[in-house]
């Protein structure tokens, strides 16, 4: 009997013990691992461009509206707490409280997206665009008088809108997922103290989005 | 049947996160310290906040190690990826 045949006749290996989590949760963690690499690519590109930039980098304190974004950061942290409270409520057997906290999270997330859209309109109005500073705008005057560096405003514009835009897209997906959970699953009573996988899995995604924003806020707005 | 589990102190974590965010803002715009020190402290605070979220809200502190490893592995990979990109500026 050849070696190959001997292998073919061998019974299959016994299934290995898994990581002891249900498939949806494991799937979400694997997805989040890929998301870490996705955001690492964006943040890494930003860091590399910033360190290699010719001359001074744009000053976020002058270009951006830090106060409104700080409020938005606080809002996202609050929505993360309300999501984990929804999880705690259903695991304690209280669907009514779970629905309340889930709704609060949806409102918090939707408000975050709304404020980000407002921020984008505000920035573009003042001349800060993904292509840099718009000619004839308020910011263009600051570039002319040397307050802002002309050489790096284009890089800052494109990296700023790419990173915050992709994050905003993730927040929007999170809000839509939670709205689906709320209207299709939670309200008809399909999320029970015996089966609340949806809340835990979407919650993991939501906390990850919050975590990414914590890093982005520091890197893009504060440094 | 209703069961009550013991949960981490979520509101306390929320308070920590709020205070750390306020500290970040004060550090970034109010404190007159050197730029490099400011950068290091801001990154330290951001990592601290991110760890709080991962440990308590994502419950990594209470998960088994095999799931924790799944969450941890991408982090050094991401750092290696960024360091490799930075290499021409560092060396």
CATH number at residue A198: 1.20.120.80
Chain B residues within an 8 Å CB radius of A207: 53-54, 57-58
DSSP for residue B61: G
Q: How far apart are CA B57 and CA A108, in angstroms?
A: 16
Closest Cα in chain B to A69: B25
Contact B53 A83 (CB under 8 A): no
Contact B89 A48 (CB under 8 A): yes
In Å, how far is B34's CA from the nearest CA of chain A?
Answer: 12
Task: Quote the pLDDT of residue B29.
Answer: 86
Q: Is A155 part of any domain?
A: yes
The pair of structure tokens assigned to A205 is 């995604």
Element (H, E) at A129: strand A128-129
Q: With a cut of 50, list the residues of chain A below it in pLDDT.
A: 1, 6-7, 11-12, 15
What is the dihedral sign for C-alpha A68, A70, A71, A76? positive
Point out the residue among B43, B54, B64 whose CB comes nearest to the CB of A19: B64
Start-to-end CA distance of chain A, whole Å, equals 68
- Is residue A147 less than 8 Å (CB to CB) from chain B? no
Q: Is A3 part of any domain?
A: no
The pair of structure tokens assigned to A218 is 């520091």
Contact B13 A88 (CB under 8 A): no
Closest Cα in chain A to B51: A211
Q: List the Cα angle B74/B80/B83 in 5-degree steps.
A: 140
Mutation pick from B6, B11, B15, B17 vs chain A, by most beta carbons of A within 10 Å, is B17
- Cα Rg of chain B (Å, integer): 18
Contact A208 B57 (CB under 8 A): no
**Neighbouring residues of A142: CB distance < 8 A, sequence distance ≥ 6:** A62, A148
Q: With a cut of 70, list the residues of chain B below it in pLDDT.
A: 1-5, 89-91
Chain A residues within an 8 Å CB radius of B28: 61, 222-223
Q: How far apart are CA A180 and CA A182, in angstroms?
A: 5
Task: Quote the pLDDT of residue A51.
Answer: 83
Q: Is A17 part of any domain?
A: no
- Is residue B13 less than 8 Å (CB to CB) from chain A? yes
Q: Percent helix, strand and coil across chain B, each rounded to 5?
A: 80, 0, 20
Q: Percent helix, strand and coil across chain A, each rounded to 5?
A: 75, 5, 25
Contact A211 B54 (CB under 8 A): yes
Contact A211 B74 (CB under 8 A): no
**Neighbouring residues of B46: CB distance < 8 A, sequence distance ≥ 6:** A214, A215, A217, A218, A219, B24
Q: Which residue has the tokens 């504060």?
A: A222
Q: What total of structural domains would you count in chain A? A: 1
DSSP-based three-state secondary structure for A128 = strand
In Å, how far is B91's CA from the nearest CA of chain A?
Answer: 12
Residues A182 and A99: beta-carbon distance below 8 Å? yes
- In terms of Cβ atoms closer than 10 Å to its own Cβ (0-12, 13-18, 19+), residue A120 is middle
In Å, how far is B24's CA from the nearest CA of chain A?
Answer: 8
Q: How far apart are CA B47 and CA B41, in angstroms?
A: 10
- Is residue B87 less than 8 Å (CB to CB) from chain A? no
**In terms of residue numbers, what domain contains A121?**
24-222
- Is residue B67 less than 8 Å (CB to CB) from chain A? yes
Dihedral pair phi/psi, residue A61, rounded to 5°: -60, -30
Q: Is A53 part of any domain?
A: yes
In Å, how far is A128's CA from the nearest CA of chain B?
Answer: 21
Residues A215 and B46: beta-carbon distance below 8 Å? yes
């Amino acid at each position: 009997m050849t070696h190959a045949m001997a292998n073919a006749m061998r019974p299959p290996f016994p299934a290995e013990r898994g990581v002891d989590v249900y498939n949806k949760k494991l799937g979400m963690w694997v997805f989040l691992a890929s998301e870490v690499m996705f955001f690492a690519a964006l943040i890494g590109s930003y860091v590399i461009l910033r360190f290699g930039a010719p001359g001074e980098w744009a000053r976020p304190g002058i270009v951006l509206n830090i106060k409104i974004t700080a409020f938005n950061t606080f809002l996202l942290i609050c929505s993360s707490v309300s999501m984990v409270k929804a999880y705690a409520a259903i695991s304690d057997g209280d669907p009514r409280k779970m629905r309340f906290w889930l709704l609060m999270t949806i409102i918090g997330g939707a408000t975050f997206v709304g404020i980000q859209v407002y921020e984008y309109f505000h920035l573009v109005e003042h001349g800060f665009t993904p292509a840099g500073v718009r000619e004839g705008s308020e910011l263009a005057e600051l570039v002319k008088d040397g307050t802002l560096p002309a050489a790096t405003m284009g890089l800052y514009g494109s990296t700023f809108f790419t990173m915050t835009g992709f994050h905003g897209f993730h927040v929007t997906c999170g809000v839509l997922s939670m709205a689906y959970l709320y209207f299709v699953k939670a309200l008809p009573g399909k999320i029970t103290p015996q089966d609340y996988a949806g809340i835990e899995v979407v919650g993991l995604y939501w906390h990850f989005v919050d975590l990414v924003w914590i890093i982005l806020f520091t890197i893009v707005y504060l440094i | 049947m209703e069961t009550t589990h013991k949960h981490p102190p979520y509101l306390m974590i929320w308070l920590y996160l709020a205070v750390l965010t306020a500290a970040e803002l004060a550090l970034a715009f109010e404190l007159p310290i050197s730029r490099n020190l400011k950068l290091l402290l801001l990154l330290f605070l951001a990592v601290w906040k991110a760890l709080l979220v991962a440990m308590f809200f994502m419950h990594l502190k209470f998960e088994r190690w095999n799931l924790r490893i799944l969450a941890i592995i991408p982090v050094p990979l991401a750092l290696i990826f960024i360091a490799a990109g930075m290499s021409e500026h560092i060396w």
